[in-house]
Amino acid sequence: MSFSAFLALWQHRYRKYSYITRQYIAAAGTILRFGALKISFLGRKKLIAIIRTEHFGDIVAAEPIARQVRELHPNDYIVWVVRPVFRELVERHPAIDEAWSQTSVLRRLLVCQSGVFDKIYNIEFWQSNQDPISGHVHFNAVAARKDVTVFNYFNKGNLLTIFQLCADLPLKDDTPRLFISDSDRLKIEALDLPKKLVVVHCSSNYPAKDWSVPNWENLILWLIEKKGYSVAEIGLKSNNSVKHPNYFNLCGQYSILQTAEIIRRAEYFIGIDSGPAHLANAVGTYGILLFGKLNTFDTYMPYSGDYQNTKNARLISKTGKTCSELEYEWVKDWIEPILAKTTNEVSV
């Protein structure tokens, strides 16, 4: 072995084992804190954990579980374990006592294995719960027993159903809710967005779900110039080159809940299968969603409540085709009669 290879090996080992040591120390501190909290309850409360750390659309889809767990534990202290970047989605929830920001899978695993929690509702697939540095896996025995995997989960039902299966909870359909602060509402109100507004979300973190940029540009201009709407685009980054006074690029400027408030103020949300679509379901804005084949799933339904039962949404797809393969004119012909009706009268 060359000296450079030897040095690289030991640098890797140093980073790995120093990381593991830090996580053990941090976990010990967390265990002590939760342990002290339990002592303060004097036996009157139990400490309950809900684990759903990412992605933000999944956390929104899982929101009814917070209320479901609260019904099962009306007097207990409920902690939602979440990545820091998504903390805002659960920290104001009336059914949650604490949002614990998870900084690593290993730290979370150590805390959960300590027995400090009296009951854990783990709604993550065990296959996706591997710490990228240490290699430790937070195994979900319930998901494994019920054969819920990243390869077959949409064969089991929508995301809420899947999460209930993973946590061994009764299956119960419900529309998710969001709890938006007054300060977030006021910030969006200050934008003075037009009343006749369509919000669009055009790209995801997975290209197989996306529709082409030229199609989106054509649709946005059609909505503005032919249908009389203003259009606001949300998301991390816009790939569109639309220039029009009634087009508003709001990408990358607002928090998740502020983005939800933008969607709430729109007449329609038009987008792809993504986190913002779950926000639209939660705030009650009518959704027009472009879908397609996803990996091994020819058809699938991620949403619960009024997006699943189509009372407040229309999913546009062609069997066997990905979203990117949907023709512009075909999609436009589906959308036009929807826009011609009020939200409560939509039926295509």
In this prediction, residue 2 carries a pLDDT of 82
Cα 2 vs. chain centroid, distance in angstroms? Answer: 47
Identify the H or E element spanning 101.
strand 98-101
Give the pLDDT confidence score for residue 127 in this predicted structure. 64
Q: What is the pLDDT along the chain (348 residues), one digit of tens a residue?
A: 787 776 777 777 889 999 999 999 999 999 999 999 999 999 999 999 999 999 999 999 999 999 999 999 999 999 999 999 999 999 999 999 999 999 899 999 999 999 999 999 999 987 668 899 999 999 999 999 999 998 899 999 999 999 999 999 999 999 999 999 999 999 999 999 999 999 999 998 788 889 999 999 999 999 999 999 999 999 999 999 999 999 999 999 999 999 999 999 999 999 999 999 999 999 999 999 999 998 888 889 999 999 999 999 999 999 889 999 999 999 999 999 999 874 443 333
C-alpha separations of 9 from 1, 18, 130, 131, 161 in Å: 10, 14, 22, 20, 45
The H or E element containing residue 70 is helix 63-72
In 243-312, at which residue ranges do the beta strands (DSSP E only) sit?
247-249, 268-272, 286-290
The structure tokens listed for 80 are: 């939602």
**Cα-to-chain-centroid distance, residue 253:** 18
Q: Which residue has the tokens 């091994």?
A: 296
Phi, psi angle pair for 99, to nearest 5°: -100, 115
**Percent helix, strand, coil in the chain (nearest 5)?**
45, 15, 40
Domains annotated for the chain, with CATH where assigned, are 3-166 (no CATH), 182-345 (3.40.50.2000)
Give strand pairing partners of 294: 297
